[in-house]
A = this chain, B = another copy of it.
């Protein structure tokens, strides 16, 4: 796998993130990102399906980790325990490097509709993946959907918490999921 300047993909991500922060997402052309990374437009689209995807690389891995954890959970585990295992399983991808540009990334995404749209699709993807994995364990459709949705909610809140506080993501995820479950309990008791 020959190549001259290594890490083309990461250089593109860095360049994109910086340019988006400096001048906004829509004022940045793909050609400009490629140029700053010392590459061309062609190469950019060889690494990323489209302009948005440069900020969402590796999310398919997360979905696989989640479904794997749910399928591999002990038979006695309930749906919510399986979902918690799914969240914990994603912790391996939450590296220091990822934490470094996380906040910058969130700001950029929040500031643009196209990017929020892509983010929403990714979350739906997680929910669908977990729902299917739960159904495969014999969990009824609607219970699976609810459990998965709670999991996604905890994942998002946990991610933000992790960016603020740092530490082990598995720990943060477990705590956040516990908070979500407590919130569910409060709702049920409320009437």
Contacts and interface: CB of A to CB of B under 8 A. Distances in A.
Nearest to A184: B146
Nearest to A191: B78
A140 B121 CA distance: 26
Interface in A124-167: 124, 140, 142-143, 145-147, 149-150, 153, 157
The DSSP consensus for interface residues of chain A is helix
A148 B147 CA distance: 14
Contacts of A120: 117, 120-121, 123-124
Interface in A38-86: 78-81
Interface in A67-119: 78-81, 113, 116-118
A142 B154 CA distance: 10
A67 to B, nearest CB: 19
A173 to B, nearest CB: 15
Interface of A: 78-81, 113, 116-118, 120-121, 123-124, 140, 142-143, 145-147, 149-150, 153, 157, 179-180, 182-188, 190-191
